[in-house]
Structure 1
């Protein structure tokens, strides 16, 4: 099981520039958490402080009972073995192949024989979809592939704490979905404590158990995702909707004149460019893939939410109860499907996931996936049966819209 990470009164500065101050939060053991915030608010600095790469001016970081801000270099070295870290740019050794990059933690921290190292490394390479690229150098592959190689390296020691700095950056939406699913599956398998720094709102809404947000050098809030997703705080609502109207500006401190001008535009009905999704509806979390164990974190997380529920506004309470009921229904149907109750169970599971509202991110619905293995892999052609009915298309006609307009 992953270990708890407790941060108390943490303050970090570079010279006279304060990055954030008095940050206090607890990453619950075995749960997935996400840290949001505008660019430049110190999210990556926070991750580096958690592993002791940067030293704070004030505060404590307690990991497995040890305050890493006060411990010796030898103790810190041992504590770091608990971590797997995916840095924002991959942080690979440029002179090493992907294979050697991924094998590095095993060779550095274990006494495994090379055949065992190879088995583990190739397993992780296949897990992140890089089979066939293991002999390439980091400079010979795309940024997205480097990011996936960095994730494979972060996972080779089966760490108890996994830190991911923007795992979706440089990845297309499909690979982002696979990486997100992979993190959920890993949490289900080894109950690791995971912290994800991201700007991706879909990840924030469907992956973590807890969410925090940094803004203007402070932690706006940290707690169960249900609490943040139903929050009425203007900065939270603006960030989730991606709208330019609100406290967040192009620079960290929005000018009063700019804020007044934007308020006038908003009152006049001018759009701020944000999504109009209904964030009062809590989308159920992504479930582990079929065959994976159920996440132990779910029960622990729900207990905390139930304890918190009476203190939340009425609309938040209603949204949370509806979300819990929906998650219970999806989980029950998933269990029935996995117990092999025939085609009826499979049909129920497919129906439940397909009709769940709000574009529910259910990554374990039965699908057929074509893996072409890279640019040089043979492609697979679609085949149409010779007796399949065909319909001629009259290209001289103008296309018609769904409402009958030409």
Structure 2
């Protein structure tokens, strides 16, 4: 089972520039988490701080009961063995083949023989769809393929904590869906604690159990995805919809003149370019492939959400209950399909996560052809779940409710966007 990671009052600066301050959150054991935020808000810095590559100015990072900001170098070395990390750019050794890159953690941290190492490496290579490319150098393949090789290396030790820095960058939408499904399947198999840094809103809506968001050097929110997705917090709503009208600007600090001008444009009916999806409708969470075990995290997560339900607006409660019912239907259907799936088919399905074409393998160098209640850790132990929500989610303090959701909304449990594109109308023709 994955281990809990607890961050308390964490602050990080580079010189006079504060990256983020007083960040407090808990990644619950065995759950999938996502961290959102505009570019430049320090999400990658946060991941590097979690594994001790960067030292915070103050605060603590407690991994499996050990504060890595205070431990010895030897203790930190051992703690890092719990982690598997997919860096934003893959971070592969340029002079090593993909095979040797993926085998590196096994050779560094274990005493396995080469035949056992080869079996494990080739299993991970197949898992991420790179069979046939294992002897190539990182400079001989596309950026998307390098990203998948980095994921294979992150998984090779079957880690208890998996950190993924933008796993979808450099990947086309189909491969992104496969990688997202792969992370869910891995969580089902080994119950690992996972943290995904992403800008992909579909991943945020359908993959994690919990979501956090960084903005203006602070953690705006962290909690169950159902709470964040039904939030009235302006920065959250703007980010999810991808609209230019709102607190987020081209620079992080939008000045008053620009904000006033955009407010006038919005009042005049001018579009901010964002999607018009109804984000108060909660898409069902992606389920493991048929043949995979059921995720243990679901029960733990749902119990925590049920504790919070009475303190949420009525419309949010309705959306969450409907989402839970739909997820139960998908899970029941998967159980029925699993009973008919021969052993090993689930693993084979994962290997489809990017079967490369010959054109991909022969791409020029550098070409990217791959087209819990304690979660609210700032709250005193004596407070009720309702207190936790109002303190950690200020948008609910006034008791306002979100717009009523449409009972006829279509949902998918397979990582698809759920949008019906067939009815789009041409504009200005």
Of 367, 373, 376, 2:356 maps to 373
Counterpart of 1:257? 257
Residue 204 of structure 2 is matched in structure 1 by 204
Change (3 A) 1:224 1:146: same
Q: Deviations over 1:133-179 (max 9, x none)?
A: 01100111111000000000000000000000000000011110111
TM-score, length of structure 2 as denominator length: 0.81
Residues 4-403 of structure 1 aligned to structure 2 (within 5 Å): 4-340=4-340, 373-375=356-358
Shift of 1:370: 11
CA distance in 2, matches of 1:402, 1:71: 57
* Partner Cα distance (1:263, 1:69) in 2: 44
C-alpha distance in 1, partners of 2:280/2:125?
A: 39
| Other-structure match for 2:402 | none
By how many angstroms is 1:333 displaced? Answer: 2.1
Partner Cα distance (1:370, 1:174) in 2 = 9
2:211/2:225 contact within 8 Å kept: yes
CA distance in 2 between counterparts of 1:62 and 1:309 reads: 29
- Cα deviation 1:206-264 (Å, max 9, x = unaligned): 00000000000000000000010000000000000000000000001001000000000
Unaligned runs of 5+ in 2: 362-422
The two structures, once aligned, show a CA RMSD in angstroms of: 2.3
Indicate conservation of the 8 Å contact 2:206/2:284, yes or no.
Answer: yes
Secondary structure, in 3 states, of the residue corresponding to 1:326? helix
Return the offset for 1:371: 7.3
The separation in 2 between residues aligned to 1:221 and 1:402, in whole angstroms, is 34
Q: Distance in 2 between matches of 1:323 and 1:99?
A: 42
The 8 Å contact of residues 5 and 62 in structure 2, kept in 1 or not, is answered as: yes
Q: Secondary structure at the match of 1:84?
A: strand
Q: Is residue 9–residue 23 contact of structure 2 (8 Å, CA) maintained in 1?
A: yes
TM-score by length of 1: 0.85
Aligned partners of 1:112 and 1:273: how far apart in 2? 54
Q: Indicate the SS of the match to 1:211.
A: strand
Q: Give the direction of change, closer, same or farther, for the CA distance of 1:372–1:106 in structure 2 (3 Å limit).
A: closer
Change (3 A) 1:315 1:371: closer
Deviation per CA, 1:100-155, whole angstroms, max 9, x where unpaired? 00000000000000000000000000100110101100111111000000000000
- Shift, 1:310, TM fit: 1.0
For residues 51-87 of structure 1, the C-alpha deviation after alignment (integer angstroms, 9 at most, x for no partner) is: 0000001100000000000000000000000000000
SS in 2 for 1:102: helix
For residues 371 and 197 of structure 1, the distance between their equivalents in structure 2, rounded to whole angstroms, comes to: 21
Question: 2: distance between equivalents of 1:141 and 1:236?
Answer: 36
- Counterpart Cα distance in 1 of 2:264 and 2:162: 45
CA drift of 1:372 comes to: 5.7
Change (3 A) 1:191 1:402: closer
TM-aligned CA deviation for residue 374 of structure 1: 2.4
In structure 2, C-alpha distance between the alignment counterparts of 1:7 and 1:266, rounded to whole Å: 39
Change (3 A) 1:119 1:246: same
Aligned match of 1:344: none
Higher relative CO (CA 8 A, sep ≥ 6), structure 1 or 2? 2
Partner Cα distance (1:402, 1:7) in 2: 45
Q: Is the contact between residue 166 and residue 197 of structure 2 (CA under 8 Å) also seen in structure 1?
A: yes
Q: CA deviation at 1:402?
A: 11
Contact 2:47 2:163 in 1 (8 A): yes
Mark the structure with the bigger radius of gyration: 1
Out of 332-341 and 185-194, give the one that drifted further: 332-341
Deviation string for 1:369-394 (max 9, x for gaps)?
A: 7976322599xxxxxxxxxxxxxxxx
After superposition, the Cα gap between the structure-2 partners of 1:55 and 1:377, relative to the gap in structure 1 and judged at 3 Å, is closer
Q: Cα deviation per residue 1:340-364 (whole Å; 9 max; x = unaligned)?
A: 49xxxxxxxxxxxxxxxxxxxxx99
Task: Return closer, same or farther for 1:371/1:275 CA change in 2, 3 Å cut-off.
Answer: closer
3-state SS of the aligned residue for 2:157?
A: coil
1 CA distance for matches of 2:230 and 2:15? 37
Q: Distance in 1 between matches of 2:210 and 2:307?
A: 15
Structure 2 vs 1, CA of residues 152 and 263 (structure 1 numbering), >3 Å: closer, same or farther? same
For residue 358 of structure 2, give the secondary structure of its aligned residue in structure 1.
Answer: coil
